[in-house]
Amino acid sequence: MKDDWHAVHQERRALAEDLAALTDRQWATPSLCEGWEVHDVVAHLAGSAATTRRSFWVSFLRSRFDFDRANAREVAAYRGSTPAETLERFRATITSTATPPGPFVTRLVEIMVHGEDIRRPLGLPRPPLPPGVHSALEYLAGDALSGGRKRLAGLELSATDAAITVGRGERVEGPVLSLLVAGSGRPAGLEGLHGPGVPILAARLGVPAT
């Protein structure tokens, strides 16, 4: 568990360093999360990193069991009046070990995918892959709550930059981060993927055939 948290903390720290170099205009860039700017994603990450099991259920109840409403409340609570203020709130959670309900691997999935939600629209490179990325992709492929299981059913995901293969079926090949991003429901993750399973995945993401 200690090593797992180290990977999560490193991912948060690396993202905070990237965010520190952004202009206010870049903070207002639309992220890969539909309807959210970069600023909103950072606020969400700060809130999620501070969320305990108890506080999750309190928020969920107050939001009438609506995940979207709960997320909107969280963003509103942790988004500062300026990007600098929000960044400080995120930095304060870098070494947090608080976690909402669910398997620990969701902490790594979240920071990796949301990191790409921010970096890809801005054209920012990311640090080397952390330990546990295989577990992250494997978890996503079996996760019903996020839609990953349905999205990736009948597909074999094969990373071209790591010794990782997950699932069975029509082959989808590409960088492991692209597999994670596409598997999380982001059409932008399809870029760089190839194989007979790509049209199937694209259709599930609502991308029209070309």
136-182 confidence digits (pLDDT tens): 999 999 998 889 999 999 999 999 998 999 999 999 999 999 999 99
Instruction: Kindly state the greatest CA–CA separation across the chain.
Output: 48
Q: Any idea what DSSP says for residue 102?
A: S
55 pLDDT band, cuts 50/70/90, is confident
The yes-or-no verdict on residue 209 having pLDDT over 70 is no
Mean pLDDT of the chain: 93
Question: What pLDDT does residue 32 have?
Answer: 97
- Phi, psi for residue 132 in degrees, rounded to 5: 95, 0
> How much is the average pLDDT of 62-71?
78
Question: What pLDDT does residue 1 have?
Answer: 44
Domain ranges of the chain: 2-122, 133-204
Burial class (CB in 10 A: 0-12, 13-18, 19+), 16: middle
CA distance 6 to 205: 32
> How much is the average pLDDT of 6-28?
97
- Phi, psi for residue 204 in degrees, rounded to 5: -70, -25
Output b/e per residue, 83-107; b: 16+ Cβ within 10 A. beebbebbbebbebeebbebeebbb
Among residues 44, 34, 36, 115, the alpha carbon closest in space to that of 86 is found at 44
Q: What CATH fold (topology level) applies to the domain 2-122?
A: Four Helix Bundle (Hemerythrin (Met), subunit A) (1.20.120)
Residue 184 in tokens? 């999380």
Question: What pLDDT does residue 71 have?
Answer: 82
The yes-or-no verdict on residue 56 having pLDDT over 70 is yes
pTM of the model: 0.92
Chain length of the chain:
210
Question: What pLDDT does residue 12 have?
Answer: 97
Domain spanning 133-204, CATH architecture: 2-Layer Sandwich (3.30)
CA distance 210 to 199: 9
Question: What pLDDT does residue 198 have?
Answer: 97
CA distances to 6, 16, 148, 160 from 144, in Å: 27, 30, 6, 26
Among residues 42, 52, 60, 47, the alpha carbon closest in space to that of 99 is found at 52
Residue 118 in tokens? 């921010």
Residue 161 in tokens? 């930059």
Residue 40 in tokens? 């909103």
Question: What pLDDT does residue 3 have?
Answer: 56
Is the separation of the CB atoms in 185 and 33 below 8 Å? no
> How much is the average pLDDT of 65-76?
83
Give Cβ neighbours of residue 192 (< 8 Å, ≥ 6 apart). Answer: 174, 175, 178
Per cent of the chain over pLDDT 70 is 97
Residue 24 in tokens? 């206010």
